[in-house]
Chain A
Amino acid sequence: MDWLTGPLQLEFMQRALFVSVLIGLACSVVGVYVVLRNLSFIGDGIAHASFAGIVIAYLMKLNLYVGGLIVAVITALGIGAVSRRSQVSMDTAIGVLFTATFALGVLLMSRARNYLVDLQDFLFGNVLAVDARDMALVAALTAAVLLIVAMLYKELLFTTFDPLMAQASGIPTAALGNLLLVMLAVTIIVSLQAAGIVLVAALLVTPAATAFQLTNRFGAMMGISAAVGVGSAVVGLYASYYLNAASGSTIVLTATACFFLASLFSPKRRSLLSQVLQTRRRGVRAQPQSAVRAQQ
């Protein structure tokens, strides 16, 4: 059992494990909404856009998370507004605006004379570098996210499944949508520590997508997603220790392995693999109606 307990003798590994588990939990819970509401590209966009805020905060010698968080929340709410009014397709708007904001961050970073390594940590994540203050921040924000999800569970479920009926029957769907986007922004910023801008979208999407293949119940999907998120964080962190590799990449690849295992053994008829097999065996016309709809 030495290989399990050994790394935990090191203080930086204890901290890293603490932060990774909390981030894995927060991301996989919020990720359920991200997957069911098709927000994954938005999550990716918010993460990239926040980089400009981080760099600006760095140049002004302010707290990097606060800088990133401000830009992330503004962008998240901006998307909310754009998605309600714009004529441009959402994907296009995100593709243009967020990569531009990211480019601005890169420009500012490359102009800074003392090109610094700790900014690179935000790109790819470095959970081994967390300090006590980071731990407190992650713990507080994870608790806040879980509390909000628990309190608004019924409303968030309703607006995610049937926004029209929910709004007609008096649920404040627009406000809930904005709240969810802000929660997404906060979760992303907190998670940059472990996964970095480039990989954080996977922490959000992969556990939830894994859970989606294994259950037909919303509550169970959230539970399985959380289990996959936390499990991947633990396994990925150990893998990063023994492989001497970046923790973000090992955590994400562990979750991805879960995803493919789930698609292989999914009991649902519409799982990726069984759909392919069914199509091969019986031809497209024989697919159940639900499978055809699910693909749309």
Chain B
Amino acid sequence: MSEGKHDHTHVDPGTQAVSRDHSHAMPATAPHLHRHDGHPPGKVLAIEAGARVAIRLEGVCAGYYGRDVLDEVGFTVERGDFVGIIGPNGSGKTTLLKVIAGLLEPQCGSVEVLGAPPGHSRSIGYVPQAESVNWSFPVSVFDVVLMGVYGKLGLFHNPSEADRTAASAALEEVGMREYAGVQIGELSGGQQQRVFVARSLVQDPELLLLDEPIAGVDATSQHAIFTLLEQRQRKGMTIVATTHDLSCVATWFGKVLCLNHHVIAYGSPSEVLTDETLSATFGSHVLVIPEVHAATRSAQH
């Protein structure tokens, strides 16, 4: 990964290996981090000693064609967290996921993912936004799910019989077994997302990133998707998903990050989902208020 234009902030390589090692307590990592000149220090979240960190961002700015979509973004996700990133369209949710996945290099700040710089782990799953997928592509549902093992196989190795069995099992798990031979574009939006989730199950990554997994997805599929993700999270998978559908946030996510170019709030749903933070995130026109604030909602009507 080459350096960008700015003087980067880098994580000391000595600390990178530590968070991978589950058996040892992690030393305080804050002293190893130094910030570059362009931004004031002190805004970053405090880093708890001994935390098993999956993702750490500090002072990250990133964007396309020199225009920053993310501005001074910093937060930490611990291993096993289930984090929802909410924010309006164009607030930088997808950009943030791409930075974490190593698909986009930040212009400044430091990023650490699974104890390494982004893009250095094969244990990251990524479910792209439905709009970015070419659904007319000539692949069957089964082929798509089998792609989950491709990253781990390495060059010149073909999927084994065990991999195929795993793909079938994952399709069974998402309730799509009978669609194995169907071309991916013939499914409904919810079914397509379930297939992509099945692919992530086959890949079994340590960190799973999902971009708008429930956009345009019917209630049944939403429930099925979240139930499966929750099961994996209980087994230790770290999951980060973006959404602009607030109705599901309080029910499913352990933590919520409100994003509008910078981090507006980050914490448990009950801490974060207040009228203040939501209007700061979405502007004044929030139409969907989550259930935890049903009282507020009835007062407004």
Residues of A within 8 A of B (CB): 36, 87, 151-152, 154-155, 157-158, 160-162, 164-171, 212, 215-218, 220-221, 270, 288-290, 293-294
State in angstroms the CA–CA spacing of A218 and B119 once bound together.
Answer: 28
Verify if B122 is at the interface (C-beta below 8 Å from A).
Answer: yes
Binds A, one of B36-44, B139-147, B237-245: B139-147
State in angstroms the CA–CA spacing of A165 and B158 once bound together.
Answer: 18
**Residues B126 and A169 in contact, CB atoms below 8 Å apart:** yes
30 contacts between A and B (CB under 8 A): A36-B138, A151-B155, A152-B155, A154-B150, A154-B159, A155-B155, A158-B147, A161-B134, A161-B139, A161-B147, A164-B103, A165-B147, A166-B147, A166-B151, A168-B126, A169-B150, A169-B152, A169-B203, A169-B205, A170-B124, A216-B139, A217-B138, A218-B137, A218-B138, A220-B138, A221-B138, A288-B186, A290-B185, A290-B186, A293-B185
B84-130 CB contacts (< 8 Å) to partner A? 98, 101-103, 119, 121-122, 124-128
Closest to B216 in A: A289
**Residues B124 and A169 in contact, CB atoms below 8 Å apart:** yes
**Residues A171 and B150 in contact, CB atoms below 8 Å apart:** yes
Closest to A160 in B: B137
**Residues B121 and A170 in contact, CB atoms below 8 Å apart:** yes
**Residues A290 and B135 in contact, CB atoms below 8 Å apart:** yes
State in angstroms the CA–CA spacing of A220 and B143 once bound together.
Answer: 13
Query: Known contacts A162-B133, A218-B137; can you find 18 more A-B pairs with CB under 8 A?
Result: A87-B65, A161-B133, A161-B137, A161-B144, A161-B147, A164-B103, A164-B132, A165-B147, A166-B151, A168-B125, A169-B150, A169-B205, A215-B138, A216-B138, A221-B138, A290-B135, A293-B185, A294-B135
State in angstroms the CA–CA spacing of A217 and B135 once bound together.
Answer: 13
**Residues B126 and A171 in contact, CB atoms below 8 Å apart:** no
Write out the residue numbers on chain B whose beta carbons fall within 8 Å of the beta carbon of A154: 150, 153, 158-159
Verify if B188 is at the interface (C-beta below 8 Å from A).
Answer: yes
B153-193 CB contacts (< 8 Å) to partner A? 153, 155-156, 158-159, 183, 185-186, 188-189
State in angstroms the CA–CA spacing of A152 and B189 once bound together.
Answer: 30
Closest to B151 in A: A169
Contact of A162 among B147, B158, B205, B209 (CB under 8 A): B147
State in angstroms the CA–CA spacing of A171 and B157 once bound together.
Answer: 13
Closest to A294 in B: B136
Write out the residue numbers on chain A whose beta carbons fall within 8 Å of the beta carbon of B158: 154
State in angstroms the CA–CA spacing of A289 and B185 once bound together.
Answer: 8
Closest to A151 in B: B156
State in angstroms the CA–CA spacing of A164 and B138 once bound together.
Answer: 18
**Residues A165 and B138 in contact, CB atoms below 8 Å apart:** no
Contact of A270 among B101, B133, B136 (CB under 8 A): B136
**Residues B126 and A36 in contact, CB atoms below 8 Å apart:** no
Write out the residue numbers on chain A whose beta carbons fall within 8 Å of the beta carbon of B119: 167
**Residues B125 and A169 in contact, CB atoms below 8 Å apart:** yes
Distance from A86 Cβ to chain B, minimum over Cβ atoms (Å): 9
Distance from B229 Cβ to chain A, minimum over Cβ atoms (Å): 16
State in angstroms the CA–CA spacing of A223 and B202 once bound together.
Answer: 28
Write out the residue numbers on chain B whose beta carbons fall within 8 Å of the beta carbon of A212: 138
Distance from A269 Cβ to chain B, minimum over Cβ atoms (Å): 9
Closest to B118 in A: A168
State in angstroms the CA–CA spacing of A288 and B182 once bound together.
Answer: 15
State in angstroms the CA–CA spacing of A157 and B189 once bound together.
Answer: 22
Distance from B54 Cβ to chain A, minimum over Cβ atoms (Å): 15
**Residues A168 and B124 in contact, CB atoms below 8 Å apart:** yes
State in angstroms the CA–CA spacing of A171 and B126 once bound together.
Answer: 12
When A151-B156, A154-B153 are in contact, do A169 and B139 touch as well, CB less than 8 Å? no
**Residues B189 and A289 in contact, CB atoms below 8 Å apart:** yes
State in angstroms the CA–CA spacing of A215 and B183 once bound together.
Answer: 10
State in angstroms the CA–CA spacing of A171 and B103 once bound together.
Answer: 11
Write out the residue numbers on chain A whose beta carbons fall within 8 Å of the beta carbon of B122: 169-170
**Residues B150 and A164 in contact, CB atoms below 8 Å apart:** no
Write out the residue numbers on chain B whose beta carbons fall within 8 Å of the beta carbon of A290: 135-136, 183, 185-186
State in angstroms the CA–CA spacing of A61 and B30 once bound together.
Answer: 65
Contact of A217 among B125, B136, B140, B144 (CB under 8 A): B140
State in angstroms the CA–CA spacing of A231 and B158 once bound together.
Answer: 30
Q: Which 10 residue pairs of A and B lie closest in terms of their CB atoms, listed nearest first?
A: A169-B151, A168-B126, A170-B122, A290-B185, A294-B136, A216-B183, A168-B101, A164-B128, A170-B151, A165-B126
Contact of B188 among A160, A167, A289 (CB under 8 A): A289
Closest to B121 in A: A170
Distance from B155 Cβ to chain A, minimum over Cβ atoms (Å): 7
Distance from A262 Cβ to chain B, minimum over Cβ atoms (Å): 14
When A168-B102, A170-B122, A290-B185 are in contact, do A155 and B138 touch as well, CB less than 8 Å? no
Distance from B146 Cβ to chain A, minimum over Cβ atoms (Å): 9
